[in-house]
Structure 1
Amino acid sequence: MAEENDASDKTEDPTQKRLDDAHEKGDVAKSQEVNTWFVIAGATLVLSSFSGSIGGGVLMPLRNLVANSWMIRADGPGLMALTQSLGYALIAALGVPFLMLMLAAIAGNMIQHRLVWSAESMKPKFSKVSPGAGLKRIFGKQGVANFAKGLFKVIALGAVMTAVLWPERHRLDAMVRFDPAAIMGVTTSLTLKLLGAVVAMLAVVAIADYFFQYRTWFERQKMSLQDMKEEFKQSEGDPHIKAKIRQLRMERMKKRMMAAVPKASVIITNPTHYSVALRYERGMAAPVCVAKGVDTIALKIREIAGKHDIPIVENVPLARALYATVDIDEEIPVEHYHAVAEVIGYVMGLRRGLAGRQA
């Protein structure tokens, strides 16, 4: 019952990450009927293209063996040499056809999905030996589909063989009187005709089965809303953790700002909300913002500035503008050069006057 509820909750299409993870685990949409079709189609192509060369390549060594049997040495080295020569002849005759069949088998997999290198399917799983899971596979949707597919193939194959061989029944009866060489040609022709019909029939089965397997696989990859939330947390980060990291960063930045306030040349404020600490020394291209803040942070900046005798200048529009346009450790924007220069000039004038009185 719980599994049914879990399945009913999976209403969302899978994300690309979900599909990629399934591929990495070896869980891909795959139809064995497509592989079968490619192999049989490859065998038909091999038989139609290489039947003559295969027959000649195998027949010639065997004919020479029979014709020159009296010359064959019966000792160990002689038999070893005979075995090697026959092996080379078979490889030469069957090498290319077998290579084509291997390529056909590989193509049957690659046309369905990209290459998969995963050991996930080799790991032991209890579901593979569980009687309940086995019964579910047999009597489930996949089992019913496999039974219907097998039944259709048996009926279709019987119909194809009947349609191909029934018109040839009289010639088949007369083949007992044919020359062996003629029998080979007739047999090859009928075999190719039968394989061609089987390939056409299996093409329909393979296409239908692939779409069924793909749909079943896609439904299996669907996600619930909770799955999507968990994936978002994994890919984007847990919002609570991100908030905590943001808080730690803000605290470190605040400590760094407060440590830099005593080095400031002037504090420009809006008396109740904003404070911007600027540092300027001769030779600098422009003043640099070393700290800024609003409300409690602004109050803390003014408090530290008061303890270190740093001038505090009230300029409401300039304080707001600087707070909005300049970041920590950045030079002030060009458009504020004139206003800030007046403030710094005023502060320097105060300092010179104070120094003169003290002298």
Structure 2
Amino acid sequence: MQLKLDLQFFAGEKTEKATPKKRNEERKKGKVAKSQDVNTAFLLLFALILMAVFGSFMKDNMLALFQHSFTEYINWELTEKTVFQIFLEGSMELLKIVGPIMLIAVIAGVASNLMQIGFLFTTEPLKFDLKKIDPIQGAKRIFSLRALVELLKSFLKIVVIGAITFTIIWMFKDDMLMMAFKNAESALSFFGRVTLIMGISATVALLFLAIFDYAYQRYDFEKNMRMSKQDIKDEYKNTEGDPLIKSKIKEKQRQISMRRMMSEIPNADVIITNPTHYAIAVKYDENKASAPYVVGKGVDHIAFKIREIAKANNVMTVENRPLARSLYSSVEIGDVIPEEFYQAVAEVLAYVYRMEKKV
């Protein structure tokens, strides 16, 4: 009894890698190995590169918008029409400034996801599920090992990014103190450059951490995808079908095939036997084939049934042991007689035709 329980326990233990079928089913549900840190790092990196390349363009457009606002818009009469026009023109200018960043953010997000999981579109995660608002399941997630790992990971990111930020500020501390003696444009240019250096450095560090996070996400995903030996057996049954049902279907197919074969026996020209164990029903119809062909064959019980049906329908039976055995092993039902048996079968058919003419 104890041994049986132990075997059941090990059979239910999830130690096997997930099958392709399960992976495909989970992927359709949106369950894939993905690191959000990779998405964040790519988004920040692309956005910072864009700001480094088009920073002056964005600054010029922003200054032009402020200048136009404080020289033109401030003198306009406040009416419904002017407010709408200010809003429309201001929105268009802001779109020109932030539009490239929004576009690059979308491109970076799509690219990072394609790199990790390829193309995947599913609405399964959007479906309403009561388990998602189950307080017990929520508490389990909060106090799970994964939650602890995420907490430590977040703490590590704060420490690393904080250290990088502090280091860069410390490097430029003397220049920052001297900004009090510079004009606004020089100060703005300096702080923009320092912010860009700080952002790119922090993003590179975040990208480095994202590689480890992606490796962990893959490990955790594979661990959660594991299957027990019983799961694999059940999946095989569902895929291939229950062996009992399959055997019944095959048995049914054999019965149908047997009935079809037996229905052709009355149309045969001759039954070649050995005489008790083998029976081969042969027919020659020049409109259907260029040579005689087998319409039925069988051994033992089936051979007996073939002879019985042949006798009931006045189909001649001829004993030829070597020919019966050779035809049974060489020719399938519906196939034409091979060339090496032409002479032997022709002699049998000639004998049958002579006997039928005498009758």
Common fold by TM > 0.5: yes
1:234 and 2:238 are equivalent in the alignment: yes
Tell me how far apart the structure 2 counterparts of residues 7 and 169 of structure 1 sit (CA, whole Å). 64
Find the counterpart in structure 2 of residue 43 from structure 1: 47
Cα root mean square deviation, aligned = 1.9
Contact 1:270–1:315, Cα closer than 8 Å, also in 2: yes
Find the counterpart in structure 1 of residue 343 from structure 2: 338
Find the counterpart in structure 1 of residue 69 from structure 2: 65
Amino acid at match of 1:224: S
Amino acid at match of 1:324: S
Find the counterpart in structure 2 of residue 21 from structure 1: 25
1:139 Cα deviation after fit = 2.4
Aligned-residue identity in percent: 34
1:254 Cα deviation after fit = 1.0
Tell me how far apart the structure 1 counterparts of residues 161 and 91 of structure 2 sit (CA, whole Å). 36
Tell me how far apart the structure 2 counterparts of residues 271 and 7 of structure 1 sit (CA, whole Å). 54
Find the counterpart in structure 2 of residue 317 from structure 1: 322
1:179 and 2:209 are equivalent in the alignment: no
Deviating more after overlay: 336-345 vs 179-188: 336-345
Find the counterpart in structure 2 of residue 285 from structure 1: 290
1:347 to 344, 352, 357: 352
Cα distance per residue 1:37-96 (max 9 Å; x no partner): 111112211211111111112221321222224653422222212221121122222222
Tell me how far apart the structure 2 counterparts of residues 45 and 8 of structure 1 sit (CA, whole Å). 52
1:116 Cα deviation after fit = 2.5
Contact 2:11–2:230, Cα closer than 8 Å, also in 1: no
Tell me how far apart the structure 2 counterparts of residues 29 and 280 of structure 1 sit (CA, whole Å). 66
Q: Secondary structure at the match of 2:271?
A: strand
Q: Secondary structure at the match of 1:91?
A: helix
Q: Secondary structure at the match of 1:112?
A: helix
Contact 1:289–1:327, Cα closer than 8 Å, also in 2: yes
Contact 1:50–1:97, Cα closer than 8 Å, also in 2: no
Structure 1 pair 6/194, CA: closer, same or farther in 2 (3 Å)? farther
Tell me how far apart the structure 1 counterparts of residues 311 and 279 of structure 2 sit (CA, whole Å). 13
Contact 1:73–1:79, Cα closer than 8 Å, also in 2: no
Q: How many residue pairs align between the two structures? A: 350
Tell me how far apart the structure 1 counterparts of residues 271 and 348 of structure 2 sit (CA, whole Å). 10
Contact 1:274–1:293, Cα closer than 8 Å, also in 2: yes
Cα distance per residue 1:303-337 (max 9 Å; x no partner): 11111111111112221222222222222222222
Q: Secondary structure at the match of 2:33?
A: coil
Tell me how far apart the structure 1 counterparts of residues 92 and 78 of structure 2 sit (CA, whole Å). 20
Deviating more after overlay: 212-221 vs 50-59: 50-59
Find the counterpart in structure 2 of residue 357 from structure 1: none
Amino acid at match of 1:115: F
2:262 to 249, 258, 261: 258
Amino acid at match of 1:257: M
Cα distance per residue 1:218-266 (max 9 Å; x no partner): 1111111111112212222222121111101110111111111111000
Amino acid at match of 1:122: L
Cα distance per residue 1:95-129 (max 9 Å; x no partner): 22210111111222221102322232223434433
Find the counterpart in structure 1 of residue 140 from structure 2: 136
Structure 1 pair 6/90, CA: closer, same or farther in 2 (3 Å)? farther
Task: Tell me the TM-score normalized by structure 1.
Answer: 0.92
Gapped regions of structure 1 (runs ≥ 5): 355-359
Deviating more after overlay: 5-14 vs 229-238: 5-14
Contact 2:73–2:86, Cα closer than 8 Å, also in 1: no
Q: Secondary structure at the match of 1:275?
A: strand
Find the counterpart in structure 1 of residue 98 from structure 2: 94
Deviating more after overlay: 234-243 vs 157-166: 234-243
1:208 Cα deviation after fit = 0.7
1:224 and 2:240 are equivalent in the alignment: no
Q: Secondary structure at the match of 1:111?
A: helix
Find the counterpart in structure 2 of residue 123 from structure 1: 127
1:205 and 2:209 are equivalent in the alignment: yes
Structure 1 pair 139/282, CA: closer, same or farther in 2 (3 Å)? closer
1:306 to 303, 311, 332: 311
Contact 1:29–1:113, Cα closer than 8 Å, also in 2: yes
Tell me how far apart the structure 1 counterparts of residues 123 and 156 of structure 2 sit (CA, whole Å). 34
Structure 1 pair 6/98, CA: closer, same or farther in 2 (3 Å)? farther
1:33 to 28, 33, 37: 37
Find the counterpart in structure 1 of residue 169 from structure 2: 165
Tell me how far apart the structure 1 counterparts of residues 37 and 285 of structure 2 sit (CA, whole Å). 80
1:214 Cα deviation after fit = 0.8
Tell me how far apart the structure 1 counterparts of residues 73 and 278 of structure 2 sit (CA, whole Å). 110
Cα distance per residue 1:1-56 (max 9 Å; x no partner): xxxx6997111111111111110011111111111111111221121111111111
Find the counterpart in structure 1 of residue 196 from structure 2: 192
Contact 2:11–2:229, Cα closer than 8 Å, also in 1: no
Amino acid at match of 1:320: R
Deviating more after overlay: 56-65 vs 205-214: 56-65
